[in-house]
Amino acid sequence: MNQKVSVVIVTFNRLALLKEVIESLQQQETAISHLIVVDNASESDTQSYLESLGDRIEYVRLPNNIGGAGGFNAGIRYFMSYTSDEFVWLMDDDTVPQRDTLSQLLAFSNVKKNFGFLASDVRWTDGHRALMNRPAPMNRLKKVPEDLTEPIQVQNATFVSLLMKRSVVKQIGLPITDFFIWGDDIEYTERAARVAPGYFVPSAKVVHKMATNVGSSLLNDVPERTPRYFYSYRNKV
């Protein structure tokens, strides 16, 4: 079986974090076949760094910032067009996987071969679950405990460490660019779940290095993020 994996990272002006993410990916115990970095028209320091990596990455620089949704659309499109890898692993530029994260996802993929997506256990910097990326159990009245050890089926997931099959992408197409940010990943994974079940894999851990761990909360978030909530409410509608 082809177990080759492409990684798609979408970045926008967070060079220090991006460097840490790329380093963590280069240290995965399971080698990555293609490292695709989609740059949403970042400033020159990011561009210069990514260009300096040469053929160690596949650099996709976009002419304008079209948001995370547009970036993942471009990255998955590149994966489908320019690689023959069986899996694509999606993440933001502030997502730091452990050395065995990819190995754990692939191990579960060998056990449960029919899946729409596999989602990691996303933690914040203090070790608690990242509120923005909490797993969505099939029964919404229940909450997934932080000490869960066995994989469970979930309704949807975010693009913060998400593994998908080429065959599923071929069936469902690409993320919707018009979302810009927020909600694009929920819609996309729910679309994938109509093809095959999606699963939360607690052994596949990553750290989501957001500035604060407040989830999607206009009242609790920092003021500079307020404009983003336009997309949150619009996309939910």
Q: What is the pLDDT of residues 130-176, one digit of tens each?
A: 999 999 999 988 999 999 999 999 999 999 999 999 999 999 999 99
Exposure of 100 in the CB half-sphere (CA atoms within 13 A)? 7
What pTM did the predictor assign?
0.92
Domains of the chain: 5-236 (3.90.550.60)
- Give the model's pLDDT for residue 136: 95
* Mean pLDDT in residue range 197-226: 79
* Mean pLDDT in residue range 73-95: 98
Q: Can you point out the beta strands (E) in 33-140?
A: 34-39, 58-61, 87-92, 95-97, 117-123
Share of the chain above pLDDT 90, in %: 85
Task: Tokens 């990943």: give the residue.
Answer: 185
Instruction: Sort 194 into a burial class: Cβ within 10 Å, 0-12 / 13-18 / 19+.
Output: exposed
- Give the model's pLDDT for residue 218: 44
Which two tokens mark 225? 């993020």
* Mean pLDDT in residue range 66-70: 96
- Give the model's pLDDT for residue 197: 98
Q: Is the pLDDT of residue 126 over 50?
A: yes
* Mean pLDDT in residue range 80-88: 98
Q: Which of 159, 158, 166 shows the shortest CA–CA distance to 109?
A: 166
* Mean pLDDT in residue range 12-24: 98
